[in-house]
């Protein structure tokens, strides 16, 4: 029992950190620009594919640096040549634009790498067991991922709170006209923020590509979960996004590990339900089968109990 708890907890934290890397970029873009970027998970997927391709050409370590930069450049281009022109039509138009973009990126990835998953395996330099826990080993790449995501947030936090550029970004967020009047390039700041958020997604993609299957449906598989994290954490709140990521990461990993169903519990309590009825289907579902539903169930629960999200300031 202790074994299951410890291993699931560890994996849950790893998955949660990955989710946080993704949601952090999304939250950053959303809280700065009010733009909900539906193509965010697609940029994450691009990160996975870029690192796969670059890893084959020039090795893993350069790819780890270059793939996020490429994703950042992609994000900057999306803002500069796409979203900026849609901005005047309002937020709904922006969402629709990025929604169309998500379709396009998924298909472009299919075009370049095919419909099946590519063999994006962990490079030999980090393919060893870091330590082992109750006999199951903890791979080094997951350790690297945790280190990267923690370091990234320390740097991001310091950069936003303690540097001049960070100050300008914060100012452009709350008072765009005033910041512009003081001679700062506000549209340039928006491009920068978009590039930064996309770069974070790309970095998450490099590591996430090892954990999840690198295939064209990766974005549509993880995208909705990322949005759930954003709502559960409270729209626009970075700290809320962190807590929600961890919660959903741990919840989902634990759910996968539990191989019991409600019927088992009922049987233990002396209640038996006839086979073949819809009710039997419903109660005999194993918790591990419901795992993909867990984030959405949590979403509905949060909406009923605390509509503003965990750390949201406003009522949703």
Partner 1 sequence: MSCAGPPREANLAPAARGPRSAFAWPVRHRGWLAAFAALAVLPLVPGLDSDFVRSVLTQMAIAAVFALSYNVLFGQTGLLSFGHAVYYGLGGYAAIHLMRAINHGLALPMPLVPFAGALAGIAFGALFGALTTRRAGTIFALITLGIGELVYSAAFIVPSLFGGEEGITASRTLGPALFGIGLASQIAVYYVVAAWAFVAALSMRAFTTTPVGRMCNAVRDNPQRAAFVGYDPRVVRLIACCVAGLFAGLAGGLHAINYEIVSADSVGALRSGSVLLMTCIGGAGQFAGPVLGAVVLTWLEASLSGYTSAWLLYLGIFLMIVVVFAPRGLAGLIAMHAPLARTPAFGRVLLAYAVAAAPAAVTVVGLVTVIEMSYRVSTQPELGTKMRIAGVAVDAASPVSWIAGVIVAAAGFAAFRRTRRIVASAWTLAEQQRPAARATPS
Residues at the contact surface with partner 1, assessed by CB under 8 A: 30, 34, 36, 82, 85-86, 89, 91-93, 95-97, 99-104, 106-108, 110-115, 220, 224, 227-228, 230-231, 235, 276-278, 281-282, 285, 289-290, 292-293, 295-297, 299-300, 303-304, 307, 315-316
Please, are residues 201 and 25 in contact by the beta-carbon 8 Å criterion? Answer: yes
DSSP assignment of 81-128, as one string?
IIIHHHGGG-HHHHHHHHHHHHHHHHHHHHHHH-SSPP--PPPGGG-S
Nearer to partner 1, 68 or 295 (CB): 295
Query: How far is residue 186 CA from its own chain's centroid?
Result: 27
Closer Cβ to partner 1, 147 or 282, answer by number: 282
**Nearest-approach distance from CB 293 to partner 1, in angstroms:** 4
Tokens linked to 189? 């700041």
Of residues 107 and 185, the one with the C-beta less far from partner 1 = 107
- The CB-of-223 to partner 1 minimum distance in angstroms stands at 8
Closer by beta carbon to partner 1, 62 or else 224? 224
Angle at 287 between CA 283 and CA 289, to 5 degrees: 95
Give the dihedral of Cα atoms 73, 75, 76, 79; nearest 10 deg.
Answer: 160
CB of 75 to partner 1, least distance (A): 16
The distance of closest approach from Cβ of residue 304 to partner 1 in the complex, given in angstroms and rounded to an integer, is 7
The nearest distance, CB 119 to partner 1, in angstroms, is 15
Task: Tell me the HSE value of 153 on the side-chain side, using a 13 A CA sphere.
Answer: 18
SS3 163: coil
Beta-bridged to residue 131, according to DSSP, are: 138
Interior CA angle at 38 toward 36 and 44, to 5°? Answer: 115
Q: Say if CB 115 and CB 217 are below 8 A apart.
A: no
Beta carbon nearer to partner 1, 149 or 198: 198
Please state the closest distance from residue 53 (CB atom) to partner 1, in A.
Answer: 13
Query: Which of 207/228 has CB closer to partner 1?
Result: 228
Task: Rank residues 54 and 232 by Cβ distance to partner 1 and give the closer one.
Answer: 232
| Least separation in angstroms between CB 303 and partner 1 | 5
Best CA proximity match to 25, nearest among 251, 212, 241? 241
Query: For partner 1, which is the closer residue by CB, 27 or 149?
Result: 27
Calpha distance 184→171 (Å, rounded): 10
Q: What is the dihedral of CA 155, 98, 228, 295, to 10 degrees?
A: -110
For partner 1, give the closer residue by CB, 35 or 203: 35
Closest separation between CB of residue 105 and partner 1, Å? 8
Q: Alpha-carbon torsion 6, 232, 98, 96, what sign?
A: positive
The minimum distance between CB 135 and partner 1, in angstroms, equals 32
- What the block records as the tokens of 158 is 């310091």
């Amino acid at each position: 029992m202790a074994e299951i708890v410890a291993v699931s907890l560890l994996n849950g934290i790893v998955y949660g950190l990955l989710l946080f890397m993704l949601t952090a970029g999304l939250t950053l873009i959303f809280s700065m620009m009010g733009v909900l970027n539906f193509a965010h998970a697609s940029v994450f997927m691009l990160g996975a594919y870029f690192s796969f391709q670059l890893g084959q050409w020039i090795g893993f370590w350069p790819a780890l640096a270059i793939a996020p930069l490429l994703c950042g450049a992609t994000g900057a281009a999306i803002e500069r040549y796409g979203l900026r022109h849609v901005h005047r039509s309002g937020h709904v138009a922006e969402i629709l634009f990025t929604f169309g973009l998500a379709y396009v990126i998924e298909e472009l990835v299919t075009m370049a790498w095919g419909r099946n998953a590519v063999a994006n395996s962990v490079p030999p330099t980090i393919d060893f067991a870091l330590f082992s826990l109750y006999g199951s080993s903890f791979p080094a790449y997951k350790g690297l991922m945790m280190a990267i995501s923690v370091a990234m947030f320390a740097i991001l936090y310091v950069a936003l709170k303690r540097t001049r550029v960070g100050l300008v970004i914060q100012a452009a967020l709350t008072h765009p006209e005033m910041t512009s009047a003081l001679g700062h390039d506000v549209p340039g700041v928006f491009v920068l923020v978009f590039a930064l958020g996309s770069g974070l997604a790309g970095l998450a993609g490099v590591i996430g590509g090892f954990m999840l299957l690198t295939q064209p449906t990766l974005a549509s598989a993880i995208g909705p979960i990322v949005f759930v994290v954003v709502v559960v954490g409270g729209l626009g709140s970075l700290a809320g996004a962190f807590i929600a990521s961890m919660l959903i990461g741990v919840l989902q990993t634990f759910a996968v590990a539990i191989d019991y169903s409600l019927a088992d519990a009922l049987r233990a309590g002396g209640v038996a339900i006839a086979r073949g009825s819809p009710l039997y289907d419903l109660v005999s579902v194993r918790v591990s089968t419901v795992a993909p539903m867990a984030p959405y169930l949590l979403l509905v629960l949060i909406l009923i109990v605390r509509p503003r999200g965990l750390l949201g300031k406003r009522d949703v």
